[in-house]
Amino acid sequence: MDYDNTNRGALFKNKRKQTDNHPDYKGTIDVDGQEYWLSAWIKKSKAGETYMSLAVNLKEDSNARARVSTNGRVKNDPRDEIPF
C-alpha cells in the first residue's frame, strides 16, 4: 500500500551544519502535491522564548538557480550560441 505524503513533511537535524547561517534542521514538505525544501533555525526571541524560524524553497527553483550565470542568464541559453 502506498503512503500519501500530500500536505506532509519532515525535518531532520542538520549533521553538516558548519556556520550559524546553516539551518539547524533540514527536510522536505509536500504542499498540494508540490515538493519543497524545508529549513529551520532554532532562535531565541527578545523575550527569551525559543522558537523555530522556517524557510521554504520550491525544489524546482534550486535547480534553476544553480543554472543561472553571473550575467543573470541561464547557462546554456541558446542566445549564448555563436551563429555560423
* pLDDT digit string, tens, across residues 39-62: 999 999 999 999 999 999 999 865
* Domains of the chain, residue spans: 9-66
Question: C-alpha distances in angstroms, 26 versus 5, 38, 48?
Answer: 17, 6, 24
**Contact by Cβ (8 Å): 9, 29:** yes
CA–CA gap between residue 67 and residue 51 (Å, rounded): 34
pLDDT value for 68? 47
CATH (one of 2.60.40, 1.10.287, 2.30.31, 2.40.10) for 9-66: 2.30.31
pTM of the model: 0.67
pLDDT value for 3? 83
